[in-house]
Amino acid sequence: MSDRIHLNLFTMNSVEHVSPGSWRHAGDRSHEYTDREYWTEIAQTAERGGFTAVFFADVRGVYDVYGGDRETAVQKGVQTPANDPTYLLPAMAAVTDRLGFAVTRSTTYQHPYELARQFSTLDHLTDGRVAFNVVTSYLESAAVNLGLDERMDKQTRYDRADEFLAVCYALWEESWDDNAVVRDAEAGVYTRPEGVDRIDHEGEFFDIPGPHGCEPSPQRTPVLFQAGSSERGRTFAARNAEAVFCSQPTEAGVREYVDDLRTRAADHGRDPDRLAFFPGIVPVVGETEAAARAKHDRLREGVDVEATLALLSGFLDMDLSALDPDQRIEHIETDAIQGTMNAFTQTDPDREWTVREVAEFSGLGTTSPVVVGTPTEVADEMERWVREVGVDGFNIKEVVRTGTLDDFVDLVVPELRERGLLPAETETGTLRDQLFDDGPQLPPTHPGSDG
């Protein structure tokens, strides 16, 4: 593993993401999420700061588990309102040269033929700078708005996800030969028909003859991100993911997850070191230690505890309004996000969490560590995680938008560059090249590869 770290800005095309209440801070620009210029400015700042990608979370449905209705989530802007992130990419790509873009899409509610076309288009338009964060979704309110009577159970969602990716791999990797497009004006042949194959997929969820409708894009398959944390989710991530977003709040939790997924990847015949790990962190940085602490105090005061409980109730599929604030959170296998549950019930066996403690901890970036300090202290902590825990980079979680990003780029990035952890020169190439330096397309050991 190299010492070079990769940074992703973890954000969402919505007024609020993972720090409930933060839109109320003076100077916060979250409400500008509907403006194209807000996103193009973020893209330029992230690229200037050496970020590898902007990572867009995305959720269908509203958070209506807390109190059994949507009132708190709607009133307090809990990931609502939220726009589709996909359409931001061409604008952000147009003002940058190498920044990548990871977009969250659900295998539960989309159709693979349609999704394969969307990502091929995005990969063409960004010159190969796109990633697909593969999720199976968790909110019941999404299911009922998308034509189902209820949410599919998790096993069925992963069965569908397995088949979904098999279809996408066939469309992206196998359907079109590299030299199918010849553009021979004299002969009147744009594409050689024998270079374009059907996929003839017949399965439990989909029957898709193909061929793919798009010619091969620079990466063919977008870089694959995943964050599965249940037993089934870990197996799915180990088989398919090239980069994994870790959600554990402690170093021990991240280490266990990294080791487990690398072992599972090797069991699938993959190179375990070809899997990149990105824990989330919330950097709170000040020019002096006192300034950083004062900023952290201000940010904590701004946390909206009820909004945090509404967000977590959706993550856990558990109505936290019905529990006594001093009640301990008991472990369950949830049909929603297992990683959030495990963060509080399994990551540290010696620690028990009450509802109140969970809400207080999660208000800044949910389950990720908050790193408070001077640029040197924040960089020290990041360097330690890379060297000792074996992670490849970080998903930087925002509190104040765009303040968290601006502070990080202005204060921490020069320190990381000084230490050689971030290259001073901007790199070029596709997102996969930048992350793994082994070519623009899936490596032959990946199960989706045609090579």
Output the smallest distance, CB 237 to ligand FMN, in A: 8
Nearest to 26 by CA among 410, 403, 407: 403
Nearest approach, Cβ of residue 108 and ligand FMN (Å): 8
CA distances from 216 to 174, 197, 204, 213 (A): 10, 13, 27, 10
Of residues 65 and 180, the one with the C-beta less far from ligand FMN: 65
Q: DSSP label at 193?
A: G
Q: Which is nearer to ligand FMN, 135 or 170 (CB)?
A: 135
**Minimum CB distance to ligand FMN smaller for 14 or for 404:** 14
Residue (20 or 375) nearer to ligand FMN, CB: 20
Kindly tell me the number of DSSP H helices and DSSP E strands found in the chain. 16, 13
Quick one: 395 or 434, whose CB is closer to ligand FMN?
395
User: Which of residues 19 and 441 has its CB atom nearest to ligand FMN in the complex?
Assistant: 19
The nearest distance, CB 233 to ligand FMN, in angstroms, is 2
Strand locations in 387-441, DSSP E? 393-397
Q: For the range 340-344, what are the long-range contacts, defined as Cβ-Cβ under 8 Å and sequence gap of 24 or more?
A: 340/247, 340/312, 340/315, 340/316, 340/366, 340/367, 341/316, 342/229, 342/248, 342/253, 343/247, 343/248, 343/249, 343/253, 343/367
Contacts of 99 (CB under 8 A, 6+ apart): 43, 46, 47, 51, 52, 53, 54, 92, 93, 129
Minimum distance from residue 171 beta carbon to ligand FMN (Å): 22
Minimum distance of ligand FMN from residue 106's CB (angstroms) = 6
Nearest CB to ligand FMN, comparing residues 23 and 315:
315
- Provide the minimum distance between the beta carbon of 236 and ligand FMN in the complex, in angstroms, as a whole number: 7
Q: What is the CA radius of gyration of the chain?
A: 22
Residue 275 C-beta: closest distance to ligand FMN, Å: 15
Residue 89 CB, nearest approach to ligand FMN (Å): 16
Alpha-carbon dihedral sign for residues 166, 168, 172, 176: positive
Q: How far is CA 426 from CA 6, 50, 106, 358, in A?
A: 12, 7, 32, 40
Q: Which residue is nearest to ligand FMN (CB)?
A: 233
Interface residue list for ligand FMN (CB under 6 A):
57-59, 104, 106, 135-138, 227-230, 233, 245, 247, 337-339
Q: Where are the beta strands (DSSP E) in 222-351?
A: 223-226, 243-246, 276-285
Q: Which residues pair with 266 in a beta bridge?
A: none
Q: How many CB atoms within 10 Å of residue 446?
A: 23
Instruction: Give the shortest CB-287-to-ligand FMN separation in angstroms.
Output: 31
Q: Quick one: which H or E segment has residue 131? A: strand 130-135
Measured from the CB atom, is 341 or 372 closer to ligand FMN?
341
**Smaller CB distance to ligand FMN: residue 211 or 228?**
228
What's at 132, amino acid-wise?
Answer: F
CA distance 310 to 363: 11
